[in-house]
Structure 1
Amino acid sequence: MGQHTNSRGQIIVELLIAFGLAGILLPALLTGLIAARSGRVGQEQRILAVGLLREGEEAVRSVRDIGWDRITSPTVTMDVPYHWVQGANEWSLVEGSETVGDFTRSIVISDITPPDPSLKKVTVTISWGDIFPSSTEAVIYLARWRNTSLTDSGTVLPQGQGFGDWCRPALALTNIDLNRQGHPTSLRAFETADSLDGNRILAGTGANSSGPAFSNIKIMGNSPPTATILGDYNGTPQIKVNDLVGDDRYAFLATDSRGVEILDITTTPYQVIGSYKPIGMKNVNSVFVVGNTGYAVTTDKFYIFGISADRRTATPSGSLVLANGAKVVVDPSSLYAYVANPDPAGELKIIDVHSHPANLTNDDVKNVDVDASAGRDIFINASATRAYLATAVNTAKPEFFIINITDPVNPIVITNGGTYDTGEMDPYSTAIVTDNRAILVGYGGNEYQVFSVADDQVSFCPNHAEGTDFLNIDTGVYAVSSILQKDQHAYSYISTGDAGAELKIIEGGPGGGGNGSNGMFESATLPVPDPGHDVAFNSFTGTVDPDLSYKISIKQAIGGSCSGVTFSDSDFMSVISGPLPLGSIGSGYINPGQCMRYRVFDSGSVTKSFTVTFNYSP
C-alpha cells in the first residue's frame, strides 16, 4: 500500500515560518532604510545650520567693526536674543530671533565675569525640527580691536609765584603797630582754611617782657593788605615768648619760664587751656607741632610730647640731652627733627624721632658740621629734601648753607656754590620763598637780604649791582615768615625794632608783575573723533619731566553730548605713562567714557611744554 503525505499542512507551516521571519526582519530593514534616509536629511540640515551659525558670527563681527557701541548697552540689551539685518550701507542688530527657512537663529550678547567693558560674550544658536528638535550653538568673545590715538600739546606755567618782585623789596606796602615796647622775635604766617577770612600772623615777643607777649593779627586784601589785631596775651606773671607755632584755633608758645603754653585763640580774652612743662621749668627756646605731637628744645635738652586732640593735655614722650637748641622744625611726616644749635661739631642736628621716640639715644642723632658759627635758624622745604641753615655772623666764614637731606641719615652739605656770606649782617631768621629765592634777616649791615638758591647754587639777584635787592633797617629784623596765598599773591612778614611799626609786609614774586598761575594747565573736553558713544581709553603717555605731573578725568556723556558735563578738582585722578584702568574710580573716572579732560602740573620754576597722547578703542 503506497505512503500518503499531507502537503497542504506543510505549506501552512512554511507560510507561518515565513511570516514570522518577515515580522522579525522587515521592521529592522525598514528602520534601517528610514534611518539612512533621515540621516542624510539630518546631515544636510546640520550642514545648513553650521553655515547659518558662521554667518551669524561674521554678522556680529561686522556690527562690532562698525562701532563697539553697536553691541553694548544701551544700544543692545544684554542676555536678550537679537538677529542681524543688512541695511543699505551697514549691518545692525534687531531685537528678537529670526526664521531662516526651516531654522531659527538667535544672537545673545552677554557681559563676562568678572565684567570687562572691552570684552563681550556672544552666543549664536541655530535650532530646527518639529518632530525631532535639534540645535547647535557657538560661543565667541569679541573685544575692542580698533585702537587709535588722540594727541594734544601745550605749555604750562610754573606755580604762581606772586605779583611782586622779591629782588626789589619795598617797605611802603603795610606797616603795623603792635603797641608794645619789645619787638617780636618770632612770627608764624599762614592762610586760613577759608581764604576769604584772610591770613593770620602769630607774633611772639621775647626781647622785652613789657607789653603783650603774644598777638594774633588778621591780614585782609592785597592793594594794600590791611591788618587787624584780633587779640593779645601776656600771662600772669608776665612771660617772654621765644618761639611759637599754631593755627587759627590754637597757639603753642615757647616761654622763658612756664614751658610750652597752649592758648585757645578762638575767643577773647585768650586762655591757657594746656601746657607742657619740662622738669625744672626750663627756658624753652623753640617749639614745633605736627599733628598731635610736640617737639621742644631748651637750654639742655630736646623733648617730644604728646598732645590730646582737644589740646588740653600734654604728655611727656621722650627726651635727649642737647645743649642750647636754638630752633627746631620737623618734617611733615614726623620722621626727623632738625635742630639749629651752637655745637661746633654739628651746627645742625638731625634726630630720628620715628624709630623709638620714647627711648632716644645719641645714636639717633646725626651731626651736620658746616664749619661755621652757632646755628640760629633752620628752614626745611615742603618735600623735606633740602635744609637751609642760618648761622651767626663770622667774618671769615659763610652764614648760610644749603644741605641735601634727601637721605637724612647721610646729609650732604652743598659746599660748592651752596653757601652765602651775609657781610656784616648777623642772621636771626631765614625763609625760602617762591621763585627759588631765599630771604635772610638779622642785625647790622643790610638787615634784609634776598638771593637765589635755584639748583642748589647761591647767586645774587639780577639787580644786585643797583643795590635794590637789600633793605637797610637799622633797628634790626628779628624774624621773617612768608606765604603764597590761594589768589597767588606772595608776601613776607618781618618783625623789626621800629617803634610804632614793628610788623612790616613786603610783597614778593618773580618780578614783571608775576604770572599769577596756579601751576596747572587744564584742557578743554577733548574732541574724541567718535562722538555719540563711549570709548575705552587704553593707555596714556605724557612728556617725561621731573617737574611735570598729570591727572585725568573721564565721564560719560549726557544725552550723547559732553556739552553739559562739568569737571571739578575732586574728579581728577593722578596718572603716569602706561595703561589706564577700566571701570569706575571715584566720581570722576568712568572708563569707558566719552568726555575726557586732563591736567598738567608744573612744580618747577620755568614754563614747560608738553605733549600727551591717549590711546583708545572706539
Structure 2
Amino acid sequence: MARLQISINSKSGQSLVEFLVAMGIAAILFPALATGLIASREGSVQEGERTEAVAALTEGKEAVRIVRDAGWVNIAANGTFHPVVNGATWALAAGTETIGDLTRAMVISDVYRDAAGNIASAGTLDPSTKRVDIRVSWNVLFPSVVSETLYLTRHKMAVVVQTTEADFAAGTNTRTVVTNTGGGEVTLGAGGRADWCAPNLSITPLDLPKSGVANAISAIVGRVFAGTGDNASGVSFANVNIGNTNPPTASILGTFDGYKTNDIFGEADYVYFATDNNFKEIVIINLASSPYAEAGYFNAPGNGNGHSVVVAGTTGYMTTGDKLYTFDVSVKSGSRPALGSVTLAAEGKSISVVSGYAFI
C-alpha cells in the first residue's frame, strides 16, 4: 500500500509541472497572438481608409487637370481649394472639404525658375506654371496622410508681355495716351467730351430760378447742385440734371428755398448746405421726397454762420469763423451731434476732405 501511494504522488507532481509549463508557454504566446490580432484589425481599418484616400487623391488630380484645361484663369489664383461638381464638369471651390473621415485640400501656389530655367524656391516668376499640392488626411486610429504634388502648365495658351512704349504705341488708344515716364505706360487721356487743355463754353448757360446770385456749386456724375446766397432773392439750391449729350444739356429737376446758402455739397439722395442761420448752420435736404424736404441739421456752437460744408462717409465737416467742426451724418434726420472741433489760424472759407485729411 505504501508503494502505491508514492506512485500516485509522483503522477500528481508531474501534472503540476506540465500545467506550469503550459502556463508559461501561454504567457509567452498569448500577448503575441493578441497583438497580432489587434494589429490585423487595425491594419484592416487603416488599409480601408488608405484605399479611400488614394481614390480621393486620384480624383482630385483628374479634377484639377480638367479645371486647368477649361481655362488657365480657373487656377490662376493662389490659395486652398477643393473640387466640386459643376454641371457635367469640375470646378474649384475655396477651402478644404470633408469626405467621411477624410479631409481633402488642394493648395495652388506660384512657381519660380532660376537663370537656367529650372524650378527653384526663388527667382523669376513663371506665369505659365502652377504648383498644386494635393493632400488627403484622416485621423482614424492615428493621424495619416497621402499627398502628391503636380506642376500644371499653360500649354494651350501663350503669354505675351507688353511693357514698353513701343509695345503700347502699336495698339489703338481709346481715351488713353501712351507715355514714357518709367519705360512705358498707358494713362487716361482727355475725359468726357471736352479737353482740359483747351476748355471752352460749349454748353448752353442755365438760368437759375428767381434773381439770386449763384455762389456755391457741387457736382456728382450727371448732377450739379447750385446754391444762391449773396441776397435773399434766389432759391437755397437747385438740383440740375446734366444730360450725356454732345454738347451736354442742363435742366432743373427741382429746387428748395428757405435759407441763404454759403456753400453746398451734394450726394445722390441728400444735399447739405451751409447757411447764415445761427441755429442751423448746416441744413440737410432729402432729395428722395417730393417736394424736397428738410431732413436734419447741425447747430454749431456759438453764433457764427456756416461758411463751408463737405461730407465724407458718415462724417460731416463744416467751418464757421475760425472753427472746424465735424458732425455725425450716419443718420440724416434731426439735430446731428458734433464729433469734434479744431481752432484754425484764420477764418475758414472753403473745405475739402481727401483720405481722412481736411484741407481748408
Q: Give the TM-score normalised by structure 1.
A: 0.35
State the shift of 1:42 in Å. Answer: 4.8
Question: Match of 2:11?
Answer: 19
Distance 1:144 1:189, change over 3 A: farther
* Counterparts of 2:267 and 2:247, CA distance in 1: 24
* Counterparts of 2:33 and 2:332, CA distance in 1: 86
Question: Match of 1:590?
Answer: none
Question: Match of 1:338?
Answer: 359
Q: Within the alignment, does 1:162 sit opposite 2:191 as a pair?
A: yes
State the shift of 1:315 in Å. Answer: 4.2
* Counterparts of 1:294 and 1:33, CA distance in 2: 92
Distance 1:119 1:13, change over 3 A: same
Aligned length: 268
Q: Within the alignment, does 1:214 sit opposite 2:237 as a pair?
A: yes
Q: Within the alignment, does 1:184 sit opposite 2:176 as a pair?
A: no
Q: 2:271 aligns with which of 251, 254, 257?
A: 251
* Counterparts of 1:40 and 1:294, CA distance in 2: 82
Question: Match of 2:177?
Answer: none
**What letter corresponds to residue 271 of structure 2 in structure 1?**
A
State the shift of 1:20 in Å. Answer: 2.1
**What letter corresponds to residue 350 of structure 2 in structure 1?**
K
State the shift of 1:338 in Å. Answer: 1.8
Q: 2:144 aligns with which of 138, 141, 156?
A: 141
- SS for the counterpart of 2:307 is strand
Distance 1:255 1:322, change over 3 A: farther
Distance 1:314 1:154, change over 3 A: same
Q: Structure 1, residues 346-381: CA drift from partner, whole Å, max 9, x if none?
A: xxxxxxxxxxxxxxxxxxxxxxxxxxxxxxxxxxxx
Q: 2:20 aligns with which of 2, 25, 28?
A: 28
* Counterparts of 1:319 and 1:306, CA distance in 2: 16
Greater helix proportion:
2
- SS for the counterpart of 1:23 is helix
* Counterparts of 2:302 and 2:83, CA distance in 1: 75
- SS for the counterpart of 1:284 is coil
Asked if the contact 1:305–1:318 (Cα under 8 Å) also holds between the matched residues in 2, the reply is no
Distance 1:66 1:208, change over 3 A: same
Asked if the contact 1:286–1:297 (Cα under 8 Å) also holds between the matched residues in 2, the reply is yes
* Counterparts of 1:208 and 1:149, CA distance in 2: 73
Q: 1:232 aligns with which of 230, 255, 259?
A: 255
* Counterparts of 2:206 and 2:55, CA distance in 1: 75
Distance 1:111 1:10, change over 3 A: same
**What letter corresponds to residue 144 of structure 1 in structure 2?**
S
Q: Within the alignment, does 1:172 sit opposite 2:202 as a pair?
A: yes
Distance 1:45 1:226, change over 3 A: same
* Counterparts of 2:239 and 2:216, CA distance in 1: 12
State the shift of 1:313 in Å. Answer: 0.9
Distance 1:285 1:61, change over 3 A: closer
* Counterparts of 1:154 and 1:170, CA distance in 2: 40
Asked if the contact 2:276–2:305 (Cα under 8 Å) also holds between the matched residues in 1, the reply is yes
State the shift of 1:27 in Å. Answer: 3.3
| RCO comparison, higher one (Cα < 8 Å, 6+) | 1
State the shift of 1:244 in Å. Answer: 0.8
Q: Within the alignment, does 1:282 sit opposite 2:304 as a pair?
A: yes
* Counterparts of 2:150 and 2:61, CA distance in 1: 14
* Counterparts of 1:246 and 1:77, CA distance in 2: 52
Question: Match of 1:422?
Answer: none
Q: Structure 1, residues 363-422: CA drift from partner, whole Å, max 9, x if none?
A: xxxxxxxxxxxxxxxxxxxxxxxxxxxxxxxxxxxxxxxxxxxxxxxxxxxxxxxxxxxx
Any unmatched runs of 5+ in structure 2? 63-81, 86-96, 105-133, 163-184
Asked if the contact 1:248–1:266 (Cα under 8 Å) also holds between the matched residues in 2, the reply is no
Show the 5 A alignment for 1:171-570: 171-173=201-203, 175-191=205-221, 199-207=222-230, 209-235=232-258, 240-256=260-276, 259-278=281-300, 281-306=303-328, 309-315=331-337, 318=341, 320=343, 322-331=345-354, 333=356, 336-339=357-360
Any unmatched runs of 5+ in structure 1? 1-8, 80-108, 124-137, 192-198, 340-618
* Counterparts of 2:135 and 2:31, CA distance in 1: 43
* Counterparts of 2:283 and 2:266, CA distance in 1: 11
* Counterparts of 2:343 and 2:273, CA distance in 1: 21
- SS for the counterpart of 1:145 is strand
* Counterparts of 1:61 and 1:274, CA distance in 2: 64
Q: Structure 1, residues 211-249: CA drift from partner, whole Å, max 9, x if none?
A: 3342111234344543331222342xxx54221113233
* CA RMSD in angstroms, aligned pairs only: 4.8
Asked if the contact 1:250–1:262 (Cα under 8 Å) also holds between the matched residues in 2, the reply is yes
**What letter corresponds to residue 326 of structure 1 in structure 2?**
K
Asked if the contact 2:135–2:148 (Cα under 8 Å) also holds between the matched residues in 1, the reply is no
Asked if the contact 2:295–2:332 (Cα under 8 Å) also holds between the matched residues in 1, the reply is no
Question: Match of 1:121?
Answer: 138
* Counterparts of 2:274 and 2:84, CA distance in 1: 66
Stretch moving more, 23-32 or 10-19: 23-32
Q: Give the TM-score normalised by structure 2.
A: 0.55
